[in-house]
Amino acid sequence: MSDTAAATPPPAAGIGAVEAVVGTFTKPSDTFGRLVARPTWWLPFVLSVVIGTLAYAVALPKIDVERTIRDSVAKSGRTVSDAAIQQRLAFMKKWSNVFVAVGAVAAGAFFFVAPLVFWGGARAMGGEARYTQVLAIWAHSSLPFVLSGLLSIPLFLKERDDSLTQDQAQRVLASNLGAFVDDSAPAALRELAASADVFSIAVLVLLVLGFRRLPGLSKSAATWTPIAVWVAAIGAKAAWKAVVG
């Protein structure tokens, strides 16, 4: 009996919220093991909401909405009257606060829906993880996105108000190949290039490390499950862009 007890590894200790955030960047594998033992996700959620809201508030005044609309119309190949463009512009300005609120709700919902998809993938591959464990892994794996938002703030502050189109605003950080693809390229190609992003790749690497600490998953399944979900999401976005332009 003593031999059996000695052969059984002790359960990983829990981890504090701040320690988990720091450990995601310094000791990710050990941190994810402790998060699986005692899941926590609230601090990454707060950070994503606060930094995301701040980055959006800084970026919004820099975007020339009318030029964005005109560029979108030009790329679509449609002919739209100036009156129709002005009507659309007035509508967007009138309902801008509603759009901001809807965007915030959608971002918050995505924080909890995305790990649901990853959890389903893990269960389909034989994993025994609880949703809260996958949520904790997703929350901390997503921290590079928070870092990208933080880095974008000083870059937007240097720009003049109403000086950027929406496409240009998305390239301010220049962390993906999409920042170097010409505007005349097909929308699907620009979307695929934008998916080759430094911060997105960092998130995917962290997800793989986290999945390898989930119970019941083989090393192969832990590696390919998040990658498969990620590729499917990129393919869906590229297909949508191909349709809507």
Q: How far is CA 34 from the centre of its chain?
A: 23
3-state DSSP assignment of residue 176: strand
- 210 within 8 A of 41, measured Cβ to Cβ: no
Taking the C-alpha atoms of residue 237 and residue 205, their distance in angstroms, rounded to an integer, is: 21
Domain spans of the chain, in order of start: 12-244
pTM here is 0.88
Euclidean distance between CA atoms 236 and 11, whole angstroms = 39
- In one-letter notation, the amino acid at residue 211 is F
Give the CA diameter of the chain: 83
Residue-wise pLDDT tens digits, 184-225: 788 889 889 999 999 999 999 999 999 999 999 999 999 999
The reported pLDDT for the residue numbered 118 is: 97
Q: Which amino acid is at 73?
A: V
pLDDT, one tens digit per residue, over 8-48 is 345 567 799 999 999 999 999 999 999 999 999 999 999 99
Question: Rounded distance, CA 194 to CA 180, Å?
Answer: 9
Residue with tokens 């590229």: 238
Q: Which residues pair with 118 in a beta bridge?
A: none
Which tokens sit at 24? 């995601």
- The pLDDT score that the predictor gives to residue 186 is 85
Instruction: Please provide the DSSP assignment of 146-170 as one string.
Output: HHHHHHHHHHHHTSPTT-B-HHHHT
Q: Which has the higher per-residue pLDDT, 78 or 119?
A: 119
Give the whole-angstrom CA distance, residue 200 versus residue 215.
25
**Tokens representing 205?**
């690497």
Please, are residues 122 and 225 in contact by the beta-carbon 8 Å criterion?
Answer: yes
